[in-house]
Amino acid sequence: MTDETSPRENRVAEWARRAPDAAGVNAAMQAATLIVVRDGSHGLETLMLRRSAQLAFVAGTWVFPGGRVESGDAVGLAADDEIGAARRAAVREAREEAGLEIPEDALVAFSHWTPPPVAPKRFLTWFFIARATGGDVAIDRGEIQDHGWMRPADALARRDARDIEILPPTWITLHRLCGYRDAATAIAQSRAAQPERFATRIVPVEGGVVSLYDGDAAYACDDLDRPGSRHRLWMLASGWRYERSG
């Protein structure tokens, strides 16, 4: 990407100014994502996939393997076992999109994301993390056009350079992964922690938008200058910046 203004900031700003449907909130679907990590020669690496530019939704973005939870993912599970179905979906998507076989019991819940009501497609998404189990990545060159094992800091730097486009949940996940020295540490610390839940609120600002999350003083009122704690992602044409108190 070489344009001065990222299409991502433009699209999110447009969503933020658009009213949701008559029910007040655009319909939501269950989804799952799998963060596959391994130890590279220079530290932790994670698998990233580039979606086809021809797709109707988040075309051309770099993502972790993932997709919608399908009815078959819930077969044999309790009706309220949302995370169980999501776990199965994440395993299936890693197989379908990247040709990787990751054991279901290897997945560790990492985070959960709820998009803002104004998003045109709303996926309530469980993020899981698991270590790569070997085998070559195999993509179909259809829905997925490219792939790469990236150090989290390198992926963020490429986004800043407008070489790749990523979504806010991917950006924050990569930011968190920067704090782990290796795959074992990432898995162990994720297993020891409760998966964090993010329910996004969007506020348009000059030059882009700000994503607000629970714990930010402006979360309930959208007053970005309100004194107090901060938990927000500034998504500006001049660059992205994560601000979090403590």
* Overall average pLDDT of the 119-132 stretch: 92
Average pLDDT over residues 205-215: 95
Asked if the model's pLDDT at residue 52 lies above 60, the reply is yes
Tell whether the model's pLDDT for residue 177 goes beyond 90.
yes
**Residue 104 domain flag:** yes
Look at residue 246 in the predicted model and tell me its pLDDT.
80
Residue 25 has a pLDDT of 58
Q: Are 6 and 164 in contact (CB under 8 A)?
A: no
Mean pLDDT of 108-114: 98
Give the mean model confidence (pLDDT) for residues 139-163. 94
Contact, 68 vs 108, CB < 8 A? no
pLDDT at 202 over 70: yes
Question: How much is the pLDDT for 226?
Answer: 97
Q: How many domains does the chain have?
A: 1
| 76 vs 79: CA distance, rounded Å | 9
Above 60 in pLDDT, residue 54? yes
The contacts of residue 119 (CB under 8 Å, 6+ apart) are: 15, 26
**Domain membership flag for residue 219:** no
In a domain, 227, yes or no: no
For 60, the domain range is: 22-196
Banded model confidence at residue 19, pLDDT cuts 50, 70, 90: very low
User: What average pLDDT does range 90-109 have in this prediction?
Assistant: 97
Checking DSSP bridges between strand 122-131 and strand 28-40, what pairing results, if any? parallel
Average of per-residue pLDDT across 223-242? 96
Q: Are 114 and 199 contacting, i.e. CB atoms less than 8 angstroms apart?
A: yes
Task: Yes or no: say if 233 and 242 are a contact pair by the CB < 8 Å rule.
Answer: yes
How confident is the model over 60-81, as pLDDT tens digits? Answer: 899 999 999 999 999 999 999 9
Q: How far apart are CA 165 and CA 106, in angstroms?
A: 29
- Rounded CA-CA distance 91/62 in Å is 19
* Across 46-60, 120-134, 168-182, 213-227, least confident range: 46-60
Q: What percent of the chain has pLDDT over 90?
A: 78
Task: Answer whether residue 11 shows pLDDT above 60.
Answer: no
- The pLDDT of 87-98, averaged and rounded, is 97
Question: Is 98 part of a structural domain of the chain?
Answer: yes
The CATH number assigned to the domain holding 158 equals 3.90.79.10
Residue 64 belongs to a domain? yes
Residue 6 included in any domain: no
Tokens of 107: 């997945």
Q: Would residue 210 count as lying in a domain?
A: no
pLDDT in tens, 127-149: 999 999 988 999 988 889 999 99
Among residues 47, 69, 67, the alpha carbon closest in space to that of 129 is found at 47
Q: Is residue 120 part of a domain?
A: yes
Neighbours of 191 (CB within 10 A): 11
